[in-house]
Copies of this chain bind each other. A is one copy, B any other.
Amino acid sequence: MQGDEFWARLREGKVVLGACVMYPAPGIIEGMCEGWDWLWIDMQHGQYDYGTVLHAVRTASSVGIAPIVRPATHDYGLLGKCADTAPTGLMVPMVNTPEEAQQIVNALRFPPLGMRSYGGRRPIDLCGRGYYQESELLVMLQIETEQAARNAECIIGTDGVDALFFGADDIRVRLGLPINIPVVESKELQRPMAKMADAARKAGKFCGCVAADPATLRVALDMGYQIVVGGGDVGFLRTVAAAKLEELRQVVGGGKS
């Protein structure tokens, strides 16, 4: 799924299922991503930096999966540099106030909405010098604190913001919930998650979250979530590596063989 189809599906009210990559080897994208709709390339908590993101965005394009980059920072210039890799979108973490939302719009939208600097190499190389008037960039902001949850309406209401993304783990930490408690077992978690989705819907915009199992996904769909992360390289690797090891150890016999 390339960027155009990604947008089309969102606008038709459909769901887009994404996978996350945190380890910066583009081969992972070729090996793992068949069939997924979009790819979350993580510079914040994953091990990507600018150079490896550029390779990853290209690789995602070459295998037809829409790349969305998560930068680590709100810095105007560094956000612009991420946008200049020409991904389908950016997911910006830890946005707590409408002022921060506006600051991010300033970095990512061209005038008059924002103050993004013109001239990104890859957008021009791929789309020509008129890219600033044409290409679409999904601007998705993460709601990850109680303050952010309270400000969700104003944040999504900021012109130039397209979507919100629910940061469940940081909310768990801030609410003092067990870090592995499932969404379906915690009303405290569902409350801000539903509230955020409402804010997005009222604004006529989109919302996303992680939903890596059927039960969570059902809850999320019911709330109106369309941009869904179903898993990622690290989770896939850890789960199955541990299970496989256990399975084989049984055959060998005894603890650590």
Binding site for B on A (CB under 8 A): 9, 14-17, 19, 22-28, 30-37, 42-47, 49-52, 54-55, 58-59, 61-63, 71-78, 80-81, 84, 93-94, 110-111, 115, 117-122, 124-126, 129-130, 132, 144-145, 169-170, 172-174, 179-180, 211-214, 217-218, 221, 228, 230-231, 233-234, 236-242, 244-245, 247-252, 256-257
B77 touches A214 (CB 8 A): no
A26 touches B46 (CB 8 A): no
A47 touches B35 (CB 8 A): no
A72 touches B62 (CB 8 A): no
B234 touches A22 (CB 8 A): no
B228 touches A248 (CB 8 A): yes
- Shortest A218–chain B CB gap in Å is 6
Copies in the complex: 6
Q: Which residue of B lies closest to A24 (CB)?
A: B25
- Shortest A255–chain B CB gap in Å is 10
A122 touching B214 in the complex, CB below 8 Å, given contacts A17-B252, A32-B237: no
Residues of B within 8 A of A217 (CB): 248, 251-252
Given A14-B257, A74-B76, A111-B173, 12 new contacts (CB under 8 A): A25-B25, A26-B54, A27-B54, A35-B245, A55-B58, A71-B77, A94-B117, A117-B144, A118-B169, A218-B251, A221-B252, A236-B240
B241 touches A33 (CB 8 A): yes
Closest 10 A-B residue pairs measured CB to CB?
A62-B62, A73-B77, A23-B25, A45-B119, A25-B25, A72-B77, A30-B125, A32-B237, A236-B240, A31-B125
